[in-house]
Amino acid sequence: MIGYVTLGTNDLPRAAAFYDAIAAHFGMKRMMEFDSFIAWGEFGGAPGIAATVPFDGQPATVGNGVMVALEVDAPEKVHAIYETAMAHGGSDEGAPGPRGEDGFYAGYFRDPDGNKLNAFCMVPKTEAAPE
C-alpha cells in the first residue's frame, strides 16, 4: 500500500549524503531527483524514501510522533544502519537492541534534520528477550 515516505529537509545536499549512505545498506540508489526532491528505491519495488524541500517554501519541521521504520533481516544490519546514521550526521534515539519480549530488535536515530527513523528486524523470541 505505501509507495514511499517523504521527509522534509532544510538542506537537501546534507539530506542526500545521509540517505545515500542509508540506502546503500538496502542495495538502493536514487531513483528520482529534482532540484528540491530526491527519492531512493526502485520503481516497482518495495516502498522507497524521499527527502524534499517543502513545496510551500516554509521551513521543514519534524512531525511529533512521526517515525519511518526501515526493515532488515538481521540484528547485524540494524547495528550497521544505526552506525551509518551516526557517522553521517544522525543523532541517537535509542541504541540497537531488543525491545520487549516479542522478538522486535531495533535501533532508533534521527536524520540531520531531526526526522526520526529506526532500523528493525524480527528475531526469535529467545534472542530478543532481555537477559
Place 100 in a pLDDT band, splitting at 50, 70 and 90: confident
This prediction has a pTM of: 0.88
Kindly state whether residue 59 falls inside one of the protein's structural domains.
no
Higher pLDDT, 130 or 25: 25
Q: Are 110 and 66 in contact (CB under 8 A)?
A: no
Place 53 in a pLDDT band, splitting at 50, 70 and 90: very high
Kindly state whether residue 62 falls inside one of the protein's structural domains.
no
Beta bridge partners of 105: 98, 121
Q: Are 67 and 117 in contact (CB under 8 A)?
A: yes
Kindly state whether residue 73 falls inside one of the protein's structural domains.
yes
Distance, CA of 89 to CA of 46 (rounded, Å): 26
pLDDT digits (tens, 9 = 90+) for 81-93: 999 999 999 999 9
Query: How many alpha carbons lie under 13 Å from residue 46 in its C-beta half-sphere?
Result: 10
Q: What is the domain count for the chain?
A: 1
Residue 39: per-residue pLDDT: 97
For position 50, which CATH number holds? 3.10.180.10
